[in-house]
Amino acid sequence: MSTQNIPPAQDTPPAAVDEDAQGTADDEELVATAPATLATGVGDYFGAIRLRIKNGEAGSLPVIIGVVVIAIFFQIERSEFLTAGNLVNLLVQASIFVVFGVAETFALLLSEIDLSLGYGAGVGAFVMAELIASPVNLPWWLGIIGGLVTMAILGTAQGLLIARLRLPSFVVTLGGQLAFLGLMQEIANADKTAVGGTIQLDSNTPVYKLVSSSMSTSLAWILLVVCIVWIVFNTVRKNRSRRSHGLTAPPIAVALVPVILAAIVGVVLVLICNANRGTLTVLRGMPWVIPFVLLIVAVYSWFMAHSRTGRYIYAVGNNPEAARRAGINVKWIVTFGFIMANVTAGFAGLIYMSNQGSMSIDINGGQYVLFAVAAAVIGGASLFGGRGKISNSLLGGLVIAVVYNGLGLMGVSAPIQDMVTAAVLIVAVSLDAIVRARRTAH
């Protein structure tokens, strides 16, 4: 009756005996399902990953390979690239890009964009700095909360204009960017002690020490072990719970593969940070900003995966009409997304300020918002909404930091650095588009 499809290569699954269309549909389904869901063994798992790569679902793999290639290139050019000192510096730089990327991800997931995050972060940082400095002299944590609340208000204002008045987010946040630049300058003007638009941070405040101060070497190991144990415990527990409810669950070995990979990355990270990077004196330990950023990413990722609001952000970004018909308050979800984007930009401003040791109006907010978009997109978030994860920005921010750091070591001029980074962004997005085109070519 119908002919058996001959598999073109040994790693594609045998196609259905029925029509050609059914065979292709089966492939699509297998490709679109997470490898862990259908895998019955570790070999199966990697086979499923290979199949997905062949069919255009490579995920972050091209970017990871890219980073490795770029890093090798820079190491060849300048052997001080892979030194502890340089790498820790690179990671701190990356953390700013990562948090900006996470902030922008909220807007991108909703099929919107927030162009105000650069100077918004500046406003947030200035508010924090002013609150903890004299004459206000609030405790550091209250100053940070004050800055974040300010960002929440700015985010609400923009979000309401976009959600309720249906104004295009591009236009509203472009206006926001300009308004925040002005607002930031006004705050600096109002403070008579801010000479030349710069307010110094007291070097004793935790805000200052976020970047410059590090945790002890043993603490880093303890935290790493605690995290790994916690994740393994949770993975096993969830796996057992699924089985006990009669749901399919991958074999434990398969479920633990991503955990093992993450653990390896964690070990490497701790080793780099704990190595002696001092020149005159011994300097070891992971700067506090690194676990700070990882914590932000972890909490946000958990929220997006386990809360209704997180799920609704994805739904609204893909099909707002379907969401509306399902009874979801679309306007609130959009407003909330912009609040989260702006508050997270406040965190980015905090890290920026801590890195500088001061806050100044010459923060290049225009460039930072572009890095925000770049970090999110390079990491895998889609500009068209509904796709991407918060954790994507970890990779995206790292890529940007690697490029800038390496070019800086090579003594390349700032304009050339910018052009190269732009080229990297274009290449990353093009690669993603080409790889995805293989998928839709069916």
Partner 1 sequence: MSTSDSETAEVLLSLRGISKSFGQVQALTDVSLDVPEGKVTALIGDNGSGKSTLIKTIAGLWSPDSGEIHWRDKRVHISTPRDAEELGIKTIYQDLALCDNLDIVGNMFLGHEEMTYKLLDEGKMEGTALKVLEQLQVVTVKSVRQLAESLSGGQRQSVAVAKAVMTNARLVIMDEPTAALGVVQTRVVLELVKRLSSSGVAVLMISHNLNDVFAVADRIAVMYLGRLVVSGPASGFNRQNAVEYMTTGTAAQTVDVA
3-state SS class at 330: helix
Stretch that binds partner 1, among 23-31, 80-88, 183-191, 406-414 (CB under 8 A): 23-31
Sign (positive/negative) of CA torsion 335, 337, 342, 344? positive
- Complex with partner 1: residue 2 or 137, whichever CB lies closer: 2
Tokens of 96: 């700013």
Stretch that binds partner 1, among 172-180, 275-283, 309-317, 430-438 (CB under 8 A): 309-317
Query: Rounded to the nearest 10 degrees, what angle do helices 330-356 and 289-306 cross at?
Result: 170
DSSP string, 240-306: HHHHHTT-----HHHHHHHHHHHHHHHHHHHHHHHS---SSS---S-BTHHHHHHHHHHHHHHHHHH
Q: Does 315 bind partner 1 (CB under 8 A)?
A: yes
Task: Write the single-letter amino acid at 410.
Answer: M
Q: Is 372 exposed, middle or buried (0-12, 13-18, 19+ CB in 10 A)?
A: buried
Dist. CA 113–CA 172, nearest whole Å: 10
CB of 231 vs partner 1, minimal distance in Å: 18
Size of the site for partner 1 (CB under 8 A): 39
Binder to partner 1 among 2, 14, 34, 73 (CB under 8 A)?
34
297, 391 contact by CB (below 8 A):
yes
Contact positions with partner 1 (CB under 8 A) in 237-256: 241-242, 245-248
State the minimum distance, in angstroms, from the CB of residue 22 to partner 1.
7
Contact stretch for partner 1 (CB under 8 A) within 63-71, 152-160, 185-193, 311-319 = 311-319
Contact status: 328 vs partner 1 (CB under 8 A): yes
Task: Find the binder of partner 1 among 164, 237, 240, 311 (CB under 8 A).
Answer: 311
Sign of the alpha-carbon torsion through 313, 318, 323, 326: negative
Three-state DSSP at 199 gives strand
Write the interaction track for partner 1 spanning residues 90-119; mark x where CB under 8 A is met and - where it is not. Answer: ------------------------------
- For the CB of residue 14, give the shortest distance to partner 1 in the complex, in Å: 14
Identify which of 192, 182, 190, 193 has the alpha carbon closest to the alpha carbon of residue 154: 182
Site for partner 1 in 378-417 (CB under 8 A): 386-387
| Stretch of 88-96, 323-331, 350-358, 402-410 contacting partner 1, by CB under 8 A | 323-331
Q: Which residues bind partner 1 (CB under 8 A)?
A: 18-19, 21-22, 25-26, 28-34, 37-38, 241-242, 245-248, 306-308, 311, 314-315, 317-319, 321-323, 325-328, 386-387
